[in-house]
Amino acid sequence: MQRPKVLVVFYSRTGSNRKLALSLKKKLRAEYEEIVEEKERAGKIGFFYCGLDTLLNRGAKIRKPKEDPSDYNLAVLVTPIWVGRMPPAVRAYLAQNREKFKNLALLSVSKSGTMNPEAVSDFERHSGKKPVCTLLLKEKDVEKRTHEKRFEGFIRELESFV
């Protein structure tokens, strides 16, 4: 049996990005990998430290990934954006795998959505790659399901790698 050509890698603190990642996995018939941080970030205190650690560029300890991105034609990173940047756990994942990506795409659900253009340059800086396609969504659009046309367009762009 042939392995999928796409790897969906996701990090999600609240579940919004997880939900979209799993939908993307199903539509692209992809493998998936969850980035799991060792540090607990639940609740209000966790939320506070999310922003603080991101602003101060603090590192994160993550579990060792099971999948090797070099085995895939495309990796799609699904992540929140915290204060305009990649979360510490995502930065750690990108640093560990920087040389392994053939093609890389970015999908994000956050409070600000497209109001996070600097997050794309942060992604490029940490991954060493320009994303082949990018979709930044607002949490409220995903909740109201007004994102679906944009999401389907993103999937069509990704399908050239499948």
CATH number (domain holding residue 82): 3.40.50.360
In a domain, 1, yes or no: no
User: What gap in Å lies between CA 61 and CA 38, rounded to an integer?
Assistant: 6
Q: Domain span at residue 95? A: 6-161
Section 49-72 average pLDDT: 77
The dihedral over CA atoms of 61, 72, 122, 120, expressed in degrees to the nearest 10, equals -140
pLDDT reading at 25 higher than 60: yes
Model confidence pLDDT, tens digit, residues 73-113:
999 999 998 778 888 889 889 989 999 999 999 999 887 75
125 DSSP β-pair partners:
none
In a domain, 111, yes or no: yes
Joined together, the tokens standing for residue 128 give 């060493």
Say which DSSP state 2 is in.
Answer: P
% of the chain beyond a pLDDT of 70? 83
Model confidence pLDDT, tens digit, residues 41-59:
666 766 555 555 656 576 7
User: What gap in Å lies between CA 11 and CA 13, rounded to an integer?
Assistant: 7
Higher pLDDT, 74 or 1: 74
In a domain, 61, yes or no: yes
User: What gap in Å lies between CA 66 and CA 155, rounded to an integer?
Assistant: 24
Write down the pLDDT at residue 137. Answer: 92
* 106 sits in which H/E element: strand 104-110
DSSP code string of 110-149 = ESSGGG-HHHHHHHHHHHSS--S-EEEEEHHHHHHTTTHH
pLDDT reading at 1 higher than 50: no
79 DSSP β-pair partners:
108
- Report the predicted TM-score, pTM, of the whole model to 2 decimal places: 0.85
Number of structural domains (the chain) is 1
